[in-house]
Amino acid sequence: MFGTSPVGAARVRQDHAAPEAGFRELMSSFPTGVSIVTAIAGDSRPHGLTCTSLTSVTMRPPTMLVCLNTGSGTLGALLETGRFAVNLLDVRGQRAAEVFSSAHQNRFAAVAWQPAPVLGVPWLTEDAFALAECQVSEVTEVGDHAAVFAEVAAVRHHAGQVLLYGERRFAAWR
């Protein structure tokens, strides 16, 4: 079992949480794909944000995990309706990534989008090379974020060049 070995326990540092600046530096050095998580609120308004905290969890059932700030309007919308989309960005989507990570007032006016075919969540048609339409299955709050587990209801995918982010800059997967 994890953590029961005296040898393993001896290797664990007893420090408390890493200083925020050091942790931010650590995580910024780890490149990752860029996505935009989108949702429609109960009042039909679209919401979205740039997200690099995304991972697959299991194949059966197909489940993803995204981590969103608890103060986010996008989190509020997806909790309200139980649905959201993960738009995986192509290199053409860098501008969209920047818009959706800013305080831009009307993010959806700055991008081409349409309702996705299965759940009707916002699909960024020109910026995403792949789309996962998701239904929320579980939410766990951790600090100032919520870990949102969701079953994938539908996937759309076409060839594209993946947009990456690391070391505080965008890059393309070659």
- Report pLDDT digits (tens) over 80-128: 999 999 999 999 999 999 999 998 889 999 999 999 999 999 999 999 9
Residues 6+ apart with CB under 8 A from 4: none
**Predicted local distance difference test score (pLDDT) of residue 114:** 97
* Spatial contact of 64 and 56, defined as CB atoms under 8 Å apart: yes
Once rounded to an integer, what is the mean pLDDT over residues 55-72? Answer: 95
Looking at the domain assignment, is residue 3 inside a domain?
Answer: no
On the question of pLDDT at 17 being above 90, the answer is no
**Predicted local distance difference test score (pLDDT) of residue 82:** 97
On the question of pLDDT at 157 being above 90, the answer is yes
Q: What is the CATH number of the domain that holds 149?
A: 2.30.110.10
| More confident site: 160 or 139 | 139
Once rounded to an integer, what is the mean pLDDT over residues 25-51? Answer: 89
Looking at the domain assignment, is residue 144 inside a domain?
Answer: yes
Looking at the domain assignment, is residue 154 inside a domain?
Answer: yes
Confidence tier at 18 by pLDDT (50, 70, 90): low
Looking at the domain assignment, is residue 11 inside a domain?
Answer: no
> For residue 84, what are the domain limits?
32-172
**Predicted local distance difference test score (pLDDT) of residue 12:** 43
**Predicted local distance difference test score (pLDDT) of residue 35:** 96
Q: Which helix (H) or strand (E) holds 8?
A: helix 6-11
Looking at the domain assignment, is residue 13 inside a domain?
Answer: no
Looking at the domain assignment, is residue 21 inside a domain?
Answer: no
Looking at the domain assignment, is residue 1 inside a domain?
Answer: no
| More confident site: 150 or 103 | 150
Confidence tier at 31 by pLDDT (50, 70, 90): confident
Confidence tier at 153 by pLDDT (50, 70, 90): very high
Share of the chain above pLDDT 70, in %: 90
The number of folded domains in the chain is: 1
Looking at the domain assignment, is residue 118 inside a domain?
Answer: yes
Cα–Cα distances (Å) from 103 to 50, 72, 73, 129, 148, in that order, read 11, 12, 12, 24, 23
Backbone angles phi, psi at 102, to 5 degrees: -105, 180
Once rounded to an integer, what is the mean pLDDT over residues 156-162? Answer: 92
**Would you state the structure tokens that stand for residue 99, as one six-digit string?**
């818009």
